[in-house]
Structure formats: C-alpha cells, structure tokens
Chain A
C-alpha cells in the first residue's frame, strides 16, 4: 500500500468489504470518494452460515454508501485462492451497533 489514507492504491484491485449490517461483499474497486462511498464492479456477496459452506451470490455492479461501510480489505488473491470456502463455517458477522 502506498502512503496516504485514501483508497487510491486499491483502485482496480479486488477488495472485500464488511458492511455495517454484517455482510461481506467482494468485488473490484472502481471508485470512491471522501465519504467512503464505493463503486464495486463484478461484485458478489459471501454468505456465511454454520449449517453449510460459504455461499456466493452474484451482485454485479454495486454502489455502496459510505455510511454503511465498516471495513475495506485488500483481498490477497493468492491467499484467497487457497481458501476452501465450501468447508468454511461461521456465524454471520454481527451488525455494527453505534
């Protein structure tokens, strides 16, 4: 990551967003602004549950309002390729309570 707090170093990279309602959305960062509003291309949601492996729901092009964003993670493609999502079981993340 380059110097600076913005997300410019992540543009055109795959990122993983955790939203305030506990969802995990993965996609390619296409744009952002001061308020952390984000444009995500080719996005999908990863749905965690304790009953079955992680489900991936295709969402497509998304704009996520900054208010609703908790964490923006740089997805390490190599680490991600080695993850076996179908055997990963976990409770969904709790929503953010301000």
Chain B
C-alpha cells in the first residue's frame, strides 16, 4: 500500500515510465491504482524516431505489470518521509 499512496501523491507531476520492452513514455501522471497501473496524460515517447508506434496517442493507460522504472521529478521524493513510512511498514503498520 505504501507505494500506492506514494504514487497518489505524485499525481499531476511529470514522470517518465520505462517499460519492460525498453519503450519509455513521458507524461503527466493522471492516476494510479492498487495494481500500480498508471494513467498518463499528454504523453510522448522518449525516442520517437526509434519508436513511432504511439505517435497518435496523447493519453494512455500502462499496465503495472509491464513497468520497469518510473523516473520521478527530484522534488517528488521526500526521502525522510519515505524512510519513516518504509520502517513503519516493515514493523507491520
């Protein structure tokens, strides 16, 4: 649940989602659900010349199971808060 809450706090920020097929999609985080499925708005593929497969897509839904990395804006990470929350979770709530 921790990362679900964490991603919910990032809604509205610009992120880059790298998929397990090497495709990287940049866009504004619109929403996230319990499976960490991600919806992005105003998307563009990072290397459009190599990957023109999504040229006419501006909003997309990415299945959580195919996400390799989510690149976050630097100001989107409160390391201390995340540390505390992780420890709390490890202790069992």
Binding site for B on A (CB under 8 A): 1, 3-7, 10, 16, 18, 20, 22, 24, 36, 46, 48, 66-67, 69-76, 79-80, 83, 88, 90-91, 93-98
Convert B54-82 into 0s and 1s, putting 1 for each residue whose CB lies closer than 8 angstroms to a CB of A. Answer: 11111111110110000000000000000
* Contacts A/B (CB < 8 Å), 9 sampled: A1-B59, A5-B39, A20-B21, A66-B63, A67-B65, A70-B62, A73-B61, A74-B57, A96-B20
10 A-B pairs closest in CB distance: A73-B57, A5-B33, A80-B56, A79-B56, A73-B60, A70-B66, A72-B61, A74-B59, A96-B20, A5-B31
Output the least CB separation between B76 and chain A (Å): 19
* Size of the chain B interface, CB-CB below 8 angstroms: 30
Total contacts A to B, CB within 8 angstroms? 95
Q: Is the CB of B53 within 8 A of A97?
A: no
Q: With A5-B32, A5-B33 known to touch, is A83 a contact of B56 (CB < 8 Å)?
A: yes
Binding site for A on B (CB under 8 A): 19-23, 25, 30-33, 37, 39, 41, 43, 50-63, 65-66
Chain A at the B interface: mostly helix, strand, loop or mixed? Answer: loop
Closest Cβ neighbor of B34 among chain A residues:
A5
Alpha-carbon gap, A10 to B52, bound state (A) = 22
Q: Is the CB of A71 within 8 A of B37?
A: no
Alpha-carbon gap, A49 to B19, bound state (A) = 21
Output the least CB separation between B65 and chain A (Å): 8
Output the least CB separation between A71 and chain B (Å): 5
Q: Is the CB of B59 within 8 A of A70?
A: no
